[in-house]
């Protein structure tokens, strides 16, 4: 009897019945307070736990899934893969009943064996909303930083011209600065009414000015007809990364002019963006490799991410990207995003 008692106590981690009841109540309270959907399965692949958020996303009554094979209520799940491999899967995108979610799957180990799997998932639109707020703040901060630095240099130049008595040159400098910025604002106000897209273009314009790169937006550009179903944040990520790469490439060109050109059109069935730079360009092999995460022709940490993100976001849209040599010396990247992807 003593051995049986000790074995039972060991199997319940030495807890008393009242402690087990308290932990059970705490677990339920935690599950009901979080916004993630949580599903757990045992070693047979049967559901042992399902919270209300998971049931809502899976569109089933909360109690109906308990004890059933997970594939019955969650056909596209990869929890059984984790059950077999014992390796966790993190931050993966998945479509559940038309709802985009970010999924994590973690194995449960006991005595060096996988005895189950816990999967948690959250609606991607909620994560995107938080990321959007953060990215807007970061982009605004970057734009202000670049603008402050650039205008500080301009003020020093103006002060020097005035001290030298070169008043006409000072007036010319003011006129050049005002006309270029005002022209860009007028084009964006009429041709690019979307605030997120306008913000990233304006931010990269300021970034280019800071790096002494001539940023040219085609005045014939038009990006008015963006369907509501199109994810703006992904478009901003695509354009932002392409422009950043172009600005860096142009700025690193020692021998030639430092120029970046952007043109775009919403005519037809696609949203088309074209980014050109006056950099040194890359060969065809490097263009293909640049879509791989971590590959870069430049040294340093944090490189090799931009074009791989562009590629991933284009896959989401079912879009295309072409690369060719630009007439201004560097590369020309053209992307095509279907207005109504399948």
For residue 269 the two structure tokens come to 């069935």
Same domain, yes or no, for 331 and 227? Answer: yes
Establish if 249 belongs to a structural domain. yes
Same domain, yes or no, for 15 and 117? Answer: no
Taking the C-alpha atoms of residue 183 and residue 263, their distance in angstroms, rounded to an integer, is 15
Establish if 9 belongs to a structural domain. yes
Establish if 151 belongs to a structural domain. no
Q: How many domains does the chain have?
A: 3
The answer to whether the CB of 124 falls within 8 A of the CB of 93 is yes
Same domain, yes or no, for 330 and 229? Answer: yes
Task: Specify the pLDDT at position 78.
Answer: 92
Expressed in angstroms, the distance from the first to the final Cα of the chain is 66
Establish if 226 belongs to a structural domain. yes
Establish if 175 belongs to a structural domain. no
Task: Specify the pLDDT at position 178.
Answer: 63
Task: Specify the pLDDT at position 221.
Answer: 94
Task: Specify the pLDDT at position 301.
Answer: 36
Same domain, yes or no, for 222 and 330? Answer: yes
User: Collapsing DSSP states into helix, strand and coil, what is residue 122?
Assistant: strand
Residues 6+ apart with CB under 8 A from 243: 200, 201, 204, 260, 262, 275
pTM of the model: 0.53
Taking the C-alpha atoms of residue 291 and residue 277, their distance in angstroms, rounded to an integer, is 18
Q: What is the SS3 assignment for 174-225? A: HHHHHHHHHHHHHHHHHHCCCHHHHHHHHHHHHHHHHCCCEEEECCCCCCCC
Same domain, yes or no, for 217 and 333? Answer: yes
Q: What's the domain range around 263?
A: 213-338
Rounded to the nearest 10°, the torsion over CA 206, 208, 212, 213 is -140
Same domain, yes or no, for 27 and 72? Answer: no
Establish if 66 belongs to a structural domain. yes
The answer to whether the CB of 213 falls within 8 A of the CB of 250 is yes
Task: Specify the pLDDT at position 304.
Answer: 39
Same domain, yes or no, for 102 and 20? Answer: no
What averages of pLDDT result for each successive group of 10 residues across the chain (342 residues)?
58 61 63 76 91 85 84 90 91 84 90 90 78 64 65 78 84 71 86 90 86 91 90 89 91 87 94 93 58 45 56 88 88 92 68
Same domain, yes or no, for 217 and 327? Answer: yes
Establish if 93 belongs to a structural domain. yes
**CATH classification at residue 78:** 3.30.450.20
Same domain, yes or no, for 53 and 118? Answer: yes
> Which of these three, 100, 125, 150, is where a domain ends?
125
Same domain, yes or no, for 262 and 293? Answer: yes
Establish if 172 belongs to a structural domain. no
Of 147, 276, 273, give the one whose Cα is nearest residue 216.
276
> Which of these three, 61, 95, 125, is where a domain ends?
125
Same domain, yes or no, for 223 and 332? Answer: yes
């Amino acid at each position: 009897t003593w051995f049986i008692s000790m074995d039972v106590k060991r199997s319940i981690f030495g807890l008393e019945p009242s402690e087990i009841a308290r932990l059970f109540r705490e677990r339920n309270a935690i599950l009901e307070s979080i916004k993630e959907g949580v599903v757990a399965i045992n070693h047979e692949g049967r559901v042992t736990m399902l919270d209300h958020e998971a049931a809502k996303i899976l569109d089933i009554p909360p109690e109906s899934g308990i004890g059933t094979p997970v594939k019955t209520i969650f056909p596209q799940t990869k929890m059984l893969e984790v059950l077999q491999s014992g390796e966790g899967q993190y931050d993966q995108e998945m479509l559940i009943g038309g709802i985009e979610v970010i999924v994590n799957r973690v194995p449960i180990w006991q005595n060096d064996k996988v005895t189950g799997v816990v999967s948690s998932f959250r609606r991607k639109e909620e994560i995107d909303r938080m990321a959007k707020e953060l990215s807007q703040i970061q982009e605004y901060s970057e734009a202000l930083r670049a603008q402050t630095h650039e205008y500080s240099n301009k003020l020093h130049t103006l002060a020097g011209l005035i001290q030298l008595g070169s008043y006409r040159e000072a007036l010319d400098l003011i006129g050049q600065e005002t006309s270029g910025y005002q022209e860009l604002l007028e084009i964006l106000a009429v041709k690019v009414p979307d605030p997120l897209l306008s913000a990233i273009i304006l931010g990269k314009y300021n970034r280019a000015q800071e790096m002494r790169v001539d940023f040219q937006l085609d005045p014939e550009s038009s990006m008015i007809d963006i369907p509501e179903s199109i994810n703006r944040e992904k478009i901003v990520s695509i354009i932002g990364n392409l422009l950043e790469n172009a600005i860096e490439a142009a700025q690193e060109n020692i021998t030639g002019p430092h120029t970046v050109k952007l043109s775009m059109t919403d005519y037809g069935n696609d949203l088309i963006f074209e980014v050109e730079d006056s950099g040194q360009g890359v060969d065809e092999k490097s263009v293909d490799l640049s879509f791989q995460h971590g590959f870069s022709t430049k040294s340093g940490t944090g490189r090799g991410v931009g074009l791989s993100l562009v590629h991933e976001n284009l896959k989401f849209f079912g879009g295309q990207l072409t690369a060719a040599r630009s007439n201004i010396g560097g590369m020309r990247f053209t992307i095509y995003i279907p207005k109504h992807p399948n």
